[in-house]
Amino acid sequence: MTDIDQIKESHAAMLARLGGFFAAQERGVVLVGGYLRDTLRSATPQQDVDIALPGETEKIGRELARFLGGTFVPLGAAFGASRVVVPAQDAEFPEEKT
């Protein structure tokens, strides 16, 4: 079994939607945080999915919230981070550090 096989079916659908959203924008993103760690360690993944991305995270977060039918929550400009809350799942995305 590969690490990707460990992703729950319910999470696979959300990850596919995220992938589609960012692919349509031709924007590269990186899966980070506890969800990735737990998946790689064969542990039960957390419910929230964290992604890092370059660019205007607030603007992108608002667009993603509309796309997913969720709610945009700014976490602070100083951190360059936002949260998108959707039914049953969260997605957090800090600015990618280069």
CATH code where residue 36 lies: 3.30.460.10
Greater confidence (35 vs 62) lies with: 62
Look at strands 48-52 and 89-94 and give their pairing.
parallel
Q: Is the pLDDT of residue 24 over 90?
A: yes
pLDDT per position as a tens digit, 38-90? 877 777 767 788 888 888 888 999 999 999 999 999 987 777 788 898 876 55
At 72 the pLDDT is 93
Alpha-carbon radius of gyration of the chain = 13
Pairing state of beta strands 30-32 and 48-52?
Answer: antiparallel
pTM for the full predicted model: 0.73
The band of 1, judged by pLDDT with boundaries at 50, 70 and 90, is very low
Q: Domain range spanning residue 33? A: 3-94
Q: Is the pLDDT higher at 4 or at 71?
A: 71
Least confident of 8-12, 35-39, 58-62: 8-12
Domains: count for the chain: 1
Contact 82, 75 (CB under 8 A): yes
Query: What's the rounded Cα separation, in Å, for the pair 98 and 75?
Result: 20
